[in-house]
């Protein structure tokens, strides 16, 4: 049959040449990117891909993560009569629902669970995927050795899924609902997390949580 051209060469020789072709194409692309001032941009994209692929899943019921040991803390501890509940729905999302009453100086309902902050050492932000009722909620963290709780508000849209991104620096210290001066949140010292509804938002509420992640 003869040589018959390149594609009829010995397959071993072809295999040895292909990596060289690939490397040549790679270096050519990098040179072109550098000449067009895109070299560092390409490196940035690679680094961002690596960084954002390193995340901690704090709550993901569909994968059986973070669904145990949740507790309910309502304004009954202060004499109020607000009610709340937490359960999994038919698609394995967490449901936080109930009724907030302003009677007897009450006005809040919350859920919380313990969490080991050692997993969060490199965390710069949190991502919550939720479907709500139009109310504003708080994502709350507590820290070892601190009497304060650290909260960040997030707004929901009634009946719509939203992705809430909360940078660590957005968390502010509170004590019994009042803003206080306290050390900044150190995520590696976090020992619990929770969701709270307050701020005189009276009536029924319902929040569906698909996941909570730390980046």
Tens-digit pLDDT profile for residues 20-36: 554 565 555 556 555 55
Angstrom distance (rounded) from CA 146 to CA 162:
31
Angstrom distance (rounded) from CA 42 to CA 18:
24
For residue 35, the model assigns a pLDDT of 57
For residue 40, the model assigns a pLDDT of 55
Q: What residues make up the domain containing 119?
A: 56-214
Same domain? 66 vs 156: yes
Q: At what angle do helices 39-53 and 11-35 cross, to 10 degrees?
A: 110
Whether residue 207 contacts residue 154, with contact meaning beta carbons closer than 8 Å, is answered with: no
Whether residue 106 contacts residue 84, with contact meaning beta carbons closer than 8 Å, is answered with: no
* Count of domains forming the chain: 2
**Higher per-residue confidence, 53 vs 89:** 89
Same domain? 23 vs 127: no
Angstrom distance (rounded) from CA 122 to CA 136:
28
CA angle 192/153/121 to nearest 5° reads 40
Same domain? 30 vs 60: no
For residue 11, the model assigns a pLDDT of 38
Q: What percent of the chain has pLDDT over 70?
A: 75
Q: Which of 1-10, 48-57, 65-74, 100-109 has the lowest mean pLDDT?
A: 1-10
Residue 10: pLDDT band by 50, 70, 90 thresholds? Answer: very low
Same domain? 35 vs 73: no
Same domain? 70 vs 88: yes
For residue 18, the model assigns a pLDDT of 45
- Confirm whether 24 is domain-assigned: yes
Same domain? 119 vs 172: yes
CA end-to-end span of the chain: 60
Q: 186-214, pLDDT tens digit by residue? A: 999 999 999 999 999 999 999 999 999 99
Which residue shows structure tokens 């449901």? 95
For residue 177, the model assigns a pLDDT of 87
For residue 138, the model assigns a pLDDT of 98
Same domain? 191 vs 165: yes
Same domain? 121 vs 191: yes
Angstrom distance (rounded) from CA 107 to CA 202:
7
Whether residue 82 contacts residue 75, with contact meaning beta carbons closer than 8 Å, is answered with: yes
Q: 109-167, pLDDT tens digit by residue? A: 999 999 999 989 889 999 999 999 999 999 999 999 999 999 999 999 999 999 999 99
- pTM for this model (two decimals): 0.75
- Confirm whether 12 is domain-assigned: yes
For residue 63, the model assigns a pLDDT of 87
**Start-end of H helices in the chain:** 11-35, 39-53
For residue 28, the model assigns a pLDDT of 58
Residue 95: pLDDT band by 50, 70, 90 thresholds? Answer: very high
Same domain? 136 vs 185: yes
């Amino acid at each position: 049959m003869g040589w018959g051209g390149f594609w009829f060469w010995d397959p071993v020789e072809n295999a040895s040449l292909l990596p060289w072709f690939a490397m040549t194409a790679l270096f050519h692309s990098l040179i072109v990117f550098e000449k067009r001032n895109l070299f560092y941009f390409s490196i940035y994209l690679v680094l961002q891909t690596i960084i954002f692929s390193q995340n901690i899943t704090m709550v993901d019921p569909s994968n059986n993560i973070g669904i145990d040991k949740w507790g309910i803390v309502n304004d009954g501890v202060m004499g109020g009569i607000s009610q709340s509940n937490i359960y999994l729905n038919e698609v394995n999302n967490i449901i936080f629902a109930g009724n907030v009453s302003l009677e007897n100086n009450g006005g809040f309902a919350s859920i919380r669970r313990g969490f080991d902050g050692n997993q969060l050492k490199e965390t710069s932000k949190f991502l919550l995927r939720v479907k709500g009722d139009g109310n504003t909620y708080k994502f709350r963290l507590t820290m070892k050795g601190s009497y304060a709780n650290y909260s960040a508000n997030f707004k929901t849209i009634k009946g719509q899924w939203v992705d809430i991104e909360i940078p660590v620096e957005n968390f502010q210290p509170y004590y019994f609902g009042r803003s206080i001066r306290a050390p900044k949140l150190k995520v590696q010292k976090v020992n619990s997390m929770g969701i709270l509804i307050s701020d005189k938002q009276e009536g029924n509420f319902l929040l569906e949580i698909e996941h909570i992640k730390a980046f």
